[in-house]
Structures are given as structure tokens and as C-alpha cells.
Amino acid sequence: MKNPKHTRSEKGKVAEKFVMAATLSAAASMMECHVSVLKRAKKAGSPGFRANGSVNLTELKPWLEENLDSLDDSDSKEALECRRLLAQCEKLEFQNEVEKGNYTHNSVVADQAIRAASATKSELMRFTAEVPTWEGLSAADLEKKTKALVDSVCRNLNNHLSPLYSEK
């Protein structure tokens, strides 16, 4: 908004003229803001709003500059409409991703995780049963057997979990 015009009073002091807007939408246009901002300011008790619908911009502008960040817009019609549209877009985007196969249902993930855990447990139990027979093996042979066990566990995990991350 442009600065209010000034006039000289009788004593030579500068006095501000009131800058008035006839309507809320005229005030919003003059202040280069949305009408909803002024509605929220009015609801918050800002000075400058008259009973006849006119707005004293000279009174309103300083209050708005100081309180603009604290104005609550969570229940404004525009904010609610924006939130509704955003939720609708997010839902459509999610549906598109599901149709593309980019999401796996929780029950499928849980089933694959249980299978992987069971296969890993079986491999480790086999390892536990086999360890006593390793007595007297050289360090190189122990290393080979341990590496074979780790490779087997990793292979089983990969086989059971790969359906969850393979490309469709």
C-alpha cells in the first residue's frame, strides 16, 4: 500500500489523512492481499473496520504488519478447500502408484519376512549342529565353512525377500 497522503495542520505539524476503502475487497486490492487475510484480521479484532463495511487502511496497516504471522487461517474457507484438494491429489497419486505396482500390501511383506526369518533360523540351526564336527579343522577350512554358511543365509534371505523389491 502506498503511504498515506499528508497535510499541514494549522500549527504547521504534519497530520495523516485517513486512507479509506469502501469495501473489504477494495481494501484487499489497495493493500495487495487476499480478502481472506482481511477477514481473519477483522475476526482477530484488528482496528480499522467500520460498521458500514468500510476499512480505514491507516489504522489497519500497522496492526497487520505486526500481527500477520499470528493470524489463524486453519478454519478459513480457502484453507479448508486447499486442504481438501491436497488430500484428494495425494489419494489419486497413491492410487496411481498402487496401480503401477510400486506398493506391496502389508500382509505380503509380513508373509515374506516370516519365511525369510524361518529359513535363516533353519540355516543357523544346521550350522549349530554342524559346528562340533569341525573340531580339528584348519583355520582355512573353518573360514571356508563359515563363509559357506554366511553365503547360504544371504542367498536364502535374498530368495525370500526379492519378491518385495524386484521390478514389476
**pLDDT > 90? residue 12:** no
Residue 87 pLDDT level (bands cut at 50, 70, 90): very high
pLDDT tens profile 34-72: 888 898 899 889 999 999 999 999 999 999 989 888 877
The position carrying cell 508373509 is 111
State residue 143's pLDDT score. 93
pLDDT tens profile 119-168: 889 888 988 888 888 889 999 999 998 999 899 889 888 888 888 776 54
State residue 8's pLDDT score. 47
State residue 48's pLDDT score. 92
State residue 74's pLDDT score. 67
Contact 16, 58 (CB under 8 A): yes
Q: Buried b / exposed e across 146-156, counting CB within 10 Å, b at 16+?
A: eeebeebbeeb
Residue 9 pLDDT level (bands cut at 50, 70, 90): very low
Torsion of CA 44, 36, 27, 71, to 10 degrees: 30
State residue 57's pLDDT score. 92
In single-letter form, the type of residue at position 106 comes to: N
CA-based nearest residue to 156, from 118, 105, 99, 110: 118
In single-letter form, the type of residue at position 105 comes to: H
Beta strands in 44-92 (DSSP E): 55-56
**pLDDT > 60? residue 28:** yes
pTM over 0.75: no
For 132, the grid coordinates are 562340533
